[in-house]
């Protein structure tokens, strides 16, 4: 089955930060694809570089310390033409933000301006991107608040963020993101800071919006349970690079990279039976290596299948079959 | 919330009480006796003794203190020994130039300081920031009287654009008065702008690193709107605090400038009172000056608690 | 501080050009003041009535004052007085302020009363308080130092108290208490060493304030007696000749600016370099 051209295609992305202690590359070797109407999950533990990747796509890397030092980010605009976001000017990138690509963040409690009403914060964006007048923009804001299932939207549009709960605020953030009909939505751990019950609602909301609007969603998370629920495609990151990528079913049924394998084994659903008959949830020994890494495979120190060759030489990302890619020397014999 | 305000009020009164006590006893420690100073070398011991009696200076110090406290509580700051009028009136007569000077100076300081602070924060770490920070430090290193002398020489004497000194003739209109204040206010404005620049920069940096600014950027809003509407709005409170407190300090702290420019203000009054050991004026003026600062401090605190929307709920 | 920390410190120092500039200038000024008898071309008090109010020239780089005295030499010697007073004020206010700050921060019972007094003193403008104190104590160099030390002690107290409040909650202090370490030792060794950085930063700023304040006091005639050449007294006595012989007022002022500026640059730099939380990303 030939895939239509992807909405977002990241190739060999590399991000460098200048610090007082020297240059640091938290992201090196990220390849990722998002298709319109599908959700791609970007999975990894803290420090894997997934947030930095999303900021790079949005052009929100902290300046002047951070910059994209390599690779390309191809994005298909609403007009149909393709654009390499890495080569865009600052002004060009700014125009895309909010109107073509939108982002929602992890902390709904602090992500909204405390001194402006929620309606005004949405209306402001609408005015800037579409040139609508204030009244029409406010109308649109109320419409968006209704879209994200906030009850009594018209009245709540004049509320201030502190008058709303965490779950409500995240809905406002989503309304904000959707207000200019973006084609790509980047969600950086949107439910991590919320109660479990609210989590399910927000996930369902995002999924519904994706289907109704044909949006592509890049969903960043460290929670495999969430991945299983919402993702169509999954990309796994470790220590700043992609180590495996496949559609969700394949990834869960036949994970090939030792890291992916170990991650899935850590899920309570996959708890093993130990020697004493009690079930336990295994963990992966060791911690993520610092970004200034060594020569060989970055996962090697924690890998139970490592060989001396793995330590000496860094594996490249290879395509196993179709859309399943993997970065490991030993994928064929494991 | 009222409990918090009441507590602040109590604290304020405690501070004022300490100021009053400190001022009273330290004043009495200064060598020199106002009665003999006033009467001069020719006075006899009897004359001096009588004058002291008139002003209650012959009582034990503690008694004087308690009497004085009682007076203050009823709003009476006493009678000036040298100026032959109530202290409050003497201060009141001198208040106008000082208040206008303070206000004018703060205006200029803010007009310089706030934009500079914003520029400094937005272009943090880059040339603009370094330049602004350097200039601010330079401004804070300049002695105000020296700058005043320079300005007088250059703008008043050589160029003749401004009057050399003074506050204008008695009975002159407001415009005349302000005209005389331009030079001194500019001097004070420049020197005091440094603190405002620093505070604005710090406050803006804090706000610019907040999550909601990141959200605003993700919305694709132009940077100047983000800085001016989103960031500045939230950064204003600490800035206004500093502005208010600096203004309060200028009331008594502009002495040197008042001297250089010959302005008949409160600072001048206090200096001459100190030199002449005019106890009531010294005490009264210091209390008033400290009082202004403390009251403004208190007011800002209260407004803070009332205005922050997060505290309302 | 171990070797790597020190090297990192130096690296950061050299990266900040302005701070480096300030440090060099400060060093130069201090050395100049110390080596005054060796450097000054003329005696600071030698009057030559025939050479009154001469503009800057090859013989007198900064010109002469109303008594024919060489301005440059007076500035160099004046630096001794002004900087000496500044240094003395710093030492005195550091001593008093640190003690009070440690006490206020560590012992709750003392906190309230000490900080109320601090608030009271800080509700009066510095200059006003200084003039008042000098009047009470009498006008002399020593009393100026004492007066200014009293004026600036509250500032130091506040800073030290703030740091102490933070440090005393840290686990190692609690551990020391539990181990039975004497309070005196806790205060002096454990807490004091950890609040040393902010104290050092404050010290440089107070030095700058003190130099400026002494100049102001001397200008008003409420400070050091005019016979002693300090930068402030030079401007004060030169004031009346400002329209004829501007250099008499200009150069002492520039000296003050240079000293105060370099001190503040160094203080700012120190604050950046010593506080990990404030380190700027390049």
Say which range, C48-57, C153-162, C236-245, has the weakest mean pLDDT: C48-57
In angstroms, what CA-CA distances link B145 with B138, B255, B257, C24, C217? 15, 10, 6, 27, 11
What pLDDT score was predicted for residue C173? 82
Q: Three-state SS across chain C?
A: CCHHHHHHHHHHHHHCHHHHHHHHHHHHHHHHHHCHHHHCCCCCCCCCHHHCCCCCCCCCCCCECCCCCEHHHHHHHHHHHHHHHHHHHHHHHHHHHHHHHHHHHHCHHHHHHHHHHHHHHHCCCHHHHHHHHHHHHCCCHHHHHHHHHHHHHHHHHHHHHHHHHHHCCCHHHHHHHHCCCCHHHHHHHHHHHHCHHHHHHHHHHHHHHHHHHHHHHHHHCCCCCCCCCCHHHHHHHHHHHCCCCCHHHHHHHHHHHHHHHHHHHHHHHHHHHHCHHHCCCC
What pLDDT score was predicted for residue A316? 83
Instruction: Band the pLDDT of B2: cuts 50, 70, 90.
Output: confident
Instruction: Band the pLDDT of A290: cuts 50, 70, 90.
Output: low
Residue A119 lies in a domain: yes
The residue in chain A having the minimum alpha-carbon distance to the alpha carbon of residue B222 is A94
Tokens of B39: 């009467």
pTM over 0.90: no
Q: CB neighbours (10 Å) of residue B229?
A: 16
Exposure of B239 in the CB half-sphere (CA atoms within 13 A): 29
Residues A92, A128 within the same domain: no
Residue A105 lies in a domain: no
Instruction: Band the pLDDT of C181: cuts 50, 70, 90.
Output: confident
d(CA A84, CA A96) in angstroms, rounded, equals 12
Percent of chain C past pLDDT 90, that is, above it, reads 25
What pLDDT score was predicted for residue A271? 58
The model's pLDDT over C256-275, given as tens digits with 9 standing for 90+, comes to 999 999 999 888 888 877 76
What pLDDT score was predicted for residue A70? 87
What pLDDT score was predicted for residue B109? 94
Sign of the four-CA dihedral A240, A245, A248, A253 = negative
d(CA C42, CA C65) in angstroms, rounded, equals 13
Residues A193, A176 within the same domain: no
d(CA A216, CA A34) in angstroms, rounded, equals 6
Cβ contact, residue pair C253, B31, below 8 Å? no
Smallest CA–CA separation between A65 and chain C, in Å?
A: 6
Indicate the burial class of B88 (C-beta count within 10 angstroms; 0-12, 13-18, 19 or more): middle
Residues A207, A93 within the same domain: yes
Q: Are A16 and A240 in contact (CB under 8 A)?
A: no
Mean pLDDT of all residues in C115-123: 90
The model's pLDDT over B238-296, given as tens digits with 9 standing for 90+, comes to 888 888 888 888 877 788 888 888 888 888 888 888 877 777 788 888 888 888 888 88
Residues A189, A323 within the same domain: yes
Q: Does B313 score more than 60 pLDDT?
A: no
Residue A167 lies in a domain: yes
Residues A63, A74 within the same domain: yes
Say which range, A67-71, A81-85, A303-307, has the weakest mean pLDDT: A303-307
In angstroms, what CA-CA distances link C186 with B202, C157, C160, C198? 34, 18, 15, 18
Exposure of A157 in the CB half-sphere (CA atoms within 13 A): 24
Give the three-class secondary structure for A89.
coil
Q: CB neighbours (10 Å) of residue A113?
A: 25
Residues A268, A126 within the same domain: no
Q: Of the residues A139, A156, A181, which one is the last residue of a structural domain?
A: A181
Instruction: Band the pLDDT of C39: cuts 50, 70, 90.
Output: confident
Q: Does C160 score more than 50 pLDDT?
A: yes
Residues A24, A57 within the same domain: yes
Q: Does A217 score more than 80 pLDDT?
A: yes
Out of A98, A113, A160, closest to residue B212 by CB: A113
Specify the number of domains making up chain A. Answer: 2
- Per-chain mean pLDDT for chain A: 85
Length, in residues, of chain B: 313
Mean pLDDT of all residues in C16-35: 86
Q: Are A256 and A244 in contact (CB under 8 A)?
A: yes
Tokens of A322: 């179709």
Q: CB neighbours (10 Å) of residue B228?
A: 11
d(CA B133, CA B120) in angstroms, rounded, equals 7
Percent of chain A past pLDDT 90, that is, above it, reads 22
List of residues 6+ apart from A129 with CB closer than 8 A: A98, A99, A180, B220
CATH number at residue A298: 3.40.50.300
Residue A287 lies in a domain: yes
Mean pLDDT of all residues in A116-132: 89
Percent of chain B past pLDDT 70, that is, above it, reads 93
- Residue A148 structural domain: 114-181
Say which range, A163-177, B33-47, C182-196, has the weakest mean pLDDT: B33-47
Q: Does C278 score more than 70 pLDDT?
A: no
C 30-89: CB under 8 A from B: none
Asked if C12 reaches chain A (Cβ–Cβ under 8 Å), the answer is yes
Chain B residues with CB-CB distance to A110 below 8 A = 210-212
Instruction: Band the pLDDT of A153: cuts 50, 70, 90.
Output: confident
Out of C120, C212, C235, closest to residue B19 by CB: C120
Residues A160, A273 within the same domain: no
Q: Where are the alpha helices (DSSP H) in chain B?
A: 2-29, 34-39, 45-54, 61-73, 87-122, 127-141, 144-151, 174-208, 211-218, 223-225, 232-253, 255-261, 266-276, 279-307, 309-312
Partners for A (CB, 8 Å, 3+ pairs)?
Answer: B, C
d(CA B312, CA C185) in angstroms, rounded, equals 46
Domains delineated in chain B = 2-73 (no CATH), 93-307 (1.10.3720.10)
Q: How many CB pairs under 8 A join A and C?
A: 14
Length, in residues, of chain C: 282
Instruction: Band the pLDDT of B71: cuts 50, 70, 90.
Output: confident
What pLDDT score was predicted for residue C91? 95
d(CA C20, CA C28) in angstroms, rounded, equals 12
d(CA A197, CA A194) in angstroms, rounded, equals 8
Out of C117, C128, C258, closest to residue B252 by CB: C128
Smallest CA–CA separation between A209 and chain B, in Å?
A: 18
Residue A279 lies in a domain: yes
Reading phi first (left if > 0) and then psi (alpha if -120 to 50, else beta), residue A98 is in: left
Instruction: Band the pLDDT of A279: cuts 50, 70, 90.
Output: low
What pLDDT score was predicted for residue A188? 92
In angstroms, what CA-CA distances link C264 with A279, B252, C19? 64, 25, 9
Beta bridge partners of C70: C64
Looking at per-residue pLDDT, the higher value among A272 and A58 belongs to A58
List of residues 6+ apart from C281 with CB closer than 8 A: A18, A19, A20, A62, A65, B125
d(CA C146, CA C217) in angstroms, rounded, equals 13
Q: Does A303 score more than 70 pLDDT?
A: yes
- Angle among Cα A286, A288, A293 to the nearest 5 degrees reads 120
- Per-chain mean pLDDT for chain B: 83
Q: Does B141 score more than 90 pLDDT?
A: yes
d(CA B227, CA B235) in angstroms, rounded, equals 10
Mean pLDDT of all residues in A102-114: 89
Exposure of C145 in the CB half-sphere (CA atoms within 13 A): 16
Instruction: Band the pLDDT of B171: cuts 50, 70, 90.
Output: confident
Smallest CA–CA separation between B213 and chain C, in Å?
A: 19
β-strands A279-280, A233-238 pairing: unpaired
What pLDDT score was predicted for residue C281? 30
Residues A10, A140 within the same domain: no
The residue in chain C having the minimum alpha-carbon distance to the alpha carbon of residue B21 is C120
Sign of the four-CA dihedral B204, B208, B213, B219 = positive
Residues A187, A174 within the same domain: no
Instruction: Band the pLDDT of B197: cuts 50, 70, 90.
Output: very high
Question: ipTM, 2 decimals?
Answer: 0.86
Residue A108 lies in a domain: no
d(CA B213, CA B219) in angstroms, rounded, equals 10
Residues A200, A75 within the same domain: yes
Residues A156, A197 within the same domain: no
What pLDDT score was predicted for residue A292? 45
Radius of gyration of chain B (CA): 24
Chain A residues with CB-CB distance to C15 below 8 A = 20
Give the three-class secondary structure for A237.
strand
Q: Of the residues A152, A181, A210, which one is the last residue of a structural domain?
A: A181
Mean pLDDT of all residues in B168-174: 75
Q: Of the residues A155, A181, A207, which one is the last residue of a structural domain?
A: A181
Residue A286 lies in a domain: yes
d(CA C62, CA C54) in angstroms, rounded, equals 9
Mean pLDDT of all residues in A186-209: 89
Q: Does A235 score more than 50 pLDDT?
A: yes
Reading phi first (left if > 0) and then psi (alpha if -120 to 50, else beta), residue B125 is in: left
Chain B residues with CB-CB distance to C242 below 8 A = 149, 152-153
d(CA B218, CA C216) in angstroms, rounded, equals 52
Q: Does A7 score more than 80 pLDDT?
A: yes
Q: Which DSSP category does B79 fall into?
A: B
């Amino acid at each position: 089955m030939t895939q239509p051209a992807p909405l977002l295609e990241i190739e060999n992305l590399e991000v460098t930060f200048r610090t007082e202690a020297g240059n640091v590359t938290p992201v090196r070797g990220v390849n990722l694809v998002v298709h319109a109407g599908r959700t791609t999950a970007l999975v990894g533990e803290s420090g894997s570089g997934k947030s930095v990747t999303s900021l790079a796509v949005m052009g929100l890397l902290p300046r002047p310390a951070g910059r994209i030092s390599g690779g390309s980010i191809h994005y298909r605009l609403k007009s149909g033409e393709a654009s390499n976001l890495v080569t865009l000017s600052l002004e060009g990138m700014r125009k895309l933000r909010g109107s073509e690509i939108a982002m929602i963040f992890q902390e709904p409690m602090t992500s909204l301006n405390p001194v402006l009403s929620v309606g005004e914060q949405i209306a402001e964006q609408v005015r800037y991107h579409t040139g609508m007048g204030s009244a029409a923009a406010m109308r649109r804001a109320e419409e968006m608040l209704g879209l994200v299932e906030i009850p009594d939207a018209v009245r709540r549009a004049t509320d201030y963020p502190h008058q709303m709960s965490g779950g409500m605020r995240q809905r406002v953030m989503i309304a904000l993101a959707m207000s200019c009909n973006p084609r790509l939505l980047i969600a950086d751990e949107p439910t991590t800071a919320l109660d479990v019950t609210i989590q399910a609602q927000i996930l369902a909301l995002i999924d519904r919006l994706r289907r109704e609007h044909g949006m592509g969603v890049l969903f960043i998370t460290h929670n495999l349970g969430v991945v299983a629920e919402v993702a169509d495609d999954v990309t796994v990151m470790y220590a700043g690079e992609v180590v495996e990528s496949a559609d969700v079913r394949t990834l869960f049924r036949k994970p090939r990279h030792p890291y992916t394998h170990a991650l899935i084994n850590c899920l309570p659903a996959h708890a093993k039976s130990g020697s004493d008959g009690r079930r336990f949830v295994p963990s992966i020994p060791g911690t993520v290596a610092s970004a200034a890494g060594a020569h060989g495979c970055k996962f090697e120190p924690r890998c139970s299948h490592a060989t001396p060759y793995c330590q000496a030489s860094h594996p490249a990302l290879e395509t196993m079959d179709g859309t399943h890619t993997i970065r490991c020397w030993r994928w064929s014999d494991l | 919330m009222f409990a918090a305000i009441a507590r602040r009020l109590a604290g304020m009164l405690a501070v004022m009480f300490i100021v009053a006590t400190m001022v009273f006893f330290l004043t009495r420690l200064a060598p020199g006796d106002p009665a003999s100073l006033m009467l001069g070398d020719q006075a006899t011991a009897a004359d001096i003794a009588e004058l002291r009696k008139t002003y209650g200076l012959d009582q034990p110090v503690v008694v004087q203190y308690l009497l004085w406290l009682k007076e203050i509580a009823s709003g009476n700051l006493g009678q000036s020994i040298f100026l032959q009028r109530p202290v409050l009136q003497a201060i009141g007569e001198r208040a106008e130039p000082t208040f206008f000077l303070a206000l004018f100076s703060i205006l200029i300081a803010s007009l310089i300081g706030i934009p500079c602070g914003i520029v400094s924060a937005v272009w943090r770490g880059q040339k603009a920031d370094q330049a602004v920070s350097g200039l601010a430090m330079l401004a804070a290193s300049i002695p105000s009287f020296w700058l005043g002398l320079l300005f007088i020489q250059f703008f008043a004497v050589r160029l003749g654009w401004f009057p050399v000194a003074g506050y204008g003739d008695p009975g002159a209109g407001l415009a005349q008065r302000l005209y005389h204040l331009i030079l001194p206010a500019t001097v004070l404005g420049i020197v005091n702008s440094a603190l405002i620049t620093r505070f604005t920069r710090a406050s803006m940096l804090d706000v610019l690193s907040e999550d909601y600014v990141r959200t605003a950027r993700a919305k694709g809003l132009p940077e100047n709107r983000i800085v001016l509407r989103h960031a500045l709005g939230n950064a204003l409170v600490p800035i206004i605090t500093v502005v208010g407190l600096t203004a309060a300090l200028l009331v008594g702290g502009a002495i040197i400038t008042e001297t250089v420019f010959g302005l008949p203000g409160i600072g001048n009054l206090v200096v001459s009172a100190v030199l002449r050991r005019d106890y009531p004026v010294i005490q009264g003026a210091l209390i008033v000056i400290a009082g202004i600062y403390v009251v403004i401090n208190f007011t800002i605190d209260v407004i803070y608690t009332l205005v922050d929307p997060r505290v309302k709920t | 501080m171990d070797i790597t920390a020190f090297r990192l410190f130096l690296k950061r120092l050299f990266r900040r050009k302005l701070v480096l500039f300030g440090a060099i200038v400060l060093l130069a000024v201090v050395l100049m003041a110390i080596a005054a008898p060796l450097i000054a071309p003329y005696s600071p008090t030698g009057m030559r009535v025939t050479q009154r109010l001469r503009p800057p020239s090859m013989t007198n780089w900064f010109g002469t004052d109303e008594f024919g005295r060489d301005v440059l030499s007076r500035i160099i010697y004046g630096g001794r007085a002004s900087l000496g007073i500044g240094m003395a004020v710093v030492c005195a206010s550091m001593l008093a302020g640190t003690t009070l700050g440690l006490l206020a921060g560590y012992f709750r019972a003392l906190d309230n009363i000490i900080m109320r007094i601090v608030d009271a003193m800080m509700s009066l403008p510095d200059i006003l308080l200084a003039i008042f104190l000098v009047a009470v104590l009498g006008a002399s160099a020593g009393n100026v130092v004492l007066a200014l030390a009293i004026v600036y002690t509250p500032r130091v107290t506040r800073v030290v108290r703030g740091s102490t409040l933070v440090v005393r909650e840290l686990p190692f202090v609690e551990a020391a208490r539990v181990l039975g370490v004497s309070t005196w030792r806790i205060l002096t060794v454990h807490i004091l060493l950890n609040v040393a950085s902010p104290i050092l930063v404050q010290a440089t700023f107070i030095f700058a304030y003190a130099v400026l304040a002494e100049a102001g006091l001397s200008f008003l005639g409420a400070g050091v007696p005019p016979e002693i050449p300090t930068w402030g007294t030079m401007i004060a006595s030169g004031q009346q000749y400002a329209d004829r012989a501007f250099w008499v007022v200009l150069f002492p002022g520039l000296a003050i600016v240079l000293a105060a500026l370099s001190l503040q640059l160094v203080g700012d730099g120190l604050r950046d370099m010593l506080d990990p939380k404030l380190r700027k990303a390049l």
